[in-house]
Amino acid sequence: MTGKKRRAVYFDRDGTINTDVGYLSSPDELEIIGGAERSIKKLNDSGVLVIVISNQSGVGRGYFAKDAVEAVNERLKSLLEAEGARLDGVYYCAHSPDEECGCRKPKTGLADRAAREHGIDNSSSYVVGDKASDMGLADKIGARGVLVLTGNGAKELGKLSGRPDFVAKDIAGAVEWIMEDLQEGQG
Ligand SMILES: [Mg+2]
Ligand SMILES: [Zn+2]
């Protein structure tokens, strides 16, 4: 492969970028967590790719169809775009845990695919999420993991086997730390 590989921040969706209402299936229920737009825009401006990786087992469990997930994702993109923030990719796993797929976090299927499709070096990338499965993904791909205390974050903190690279109050705090970490790495 020619050319330099890029870095990405892989964001979880529910509980990290938007409020986790539990099996969110309607765009009308989508509520972005304060500061997310501005934080994602900062990453866009810095040249780091912003990718969403989300477990949407509500599909596999029969609670809603893929169309519902995609409608929410489209709404998320357009709300962010209205504030000048861009998602470079959105990937989701629609399987239930019983299906034992290769893409449900902490499995790496979606991050591997994103890396191939966008030329990302996962080992110099970041994962931001509110669950142990997000931190598990970070571990498996060799990325730095940031746990946010929004969503399930505070509850999940006790379930972690190791310490995340950083624990942030919310997505804004996570991105602030990542921006500093990036600058230290490049300086
Ligand atoms: Mg989540
Ligand atoms: Zn899957």
Domain hosting residue 155, numbered range: 8-186
Residue 14 among the catalytic residues: yes
Residue 134 among the catalytic residues: no
The C-alpha atoms of residue 160 and residue 149 are separated, in whole angstroms, by 13
Q: Which ligand is nearest to the CA of 100?
A: 2
The C-alpha atoms of residue 187 and residue 183 are separated, in whole angstroms, by 6
- Please give the pLDDT value at position 2: 52
Residue 2 belongs to some domain of the structure:
no
- Tell me which amino acid residue 91 is: Y
Residue in the block written with tokens 């946010």: 148
Length of the chain: 187
Q: Give the tens place of pLDDT for each residue, 41-53.
A: 999 999 999 999 9
150 CA distance to ligand 1 middle (Å): 9
Q: Which ligand is nearest to the CA of 106?
A: 2
Residue 148 belongs to some domain of the structure:
yes
- Please give the pLDDT value at position 187: 44
Residue 129 belongs to some domain of the structure:
yes
Q: How many CB atoms lie under 10 A from the CB of residue 33?
A: 19
Residue 161 belongs to some domain of the structure:
yes
Q: Which ligand is nearest to the CA of 98?
A: 2
184 CA distance to ligand 2 middle (Å): 35
Higher per-residue pLDDT: 39 or 162: 39
Residue 166 belongs to domain with CATH number: 3.40.50.1000
12, 134 Cβ separation under 8 angstroms = yes
103 CA distance to ligand 2 middle (Å): 4
- Please give the pLDDT value at position 13: 98
Number of domains the chain contains: 1
104 CA distance to ligand 2 middle (Å): 4
Q: In sequence order, what are the residues at sequence separation of 6 or more whose Cβ sits closer than 8 angstroms to the Cβ of residue 25?
A: 58, 63, 64, 68, 69, 72
Catalytic residue among 14, 88, 134, 170: 14
Q: Does residue 186 have a pLDDT over 90?
A: no
Q: Which ligand is nearest to the CA of 60?
A: 2
18 CA distance to ligand 1 middle (Å): 9
Question: What average pLDDT is seen over the chain?
Answer: 96
Residue 3 belongs to some domain of the structure:
no
What percent of the chain has a predicted confidence (pLDDT) above 90?
94
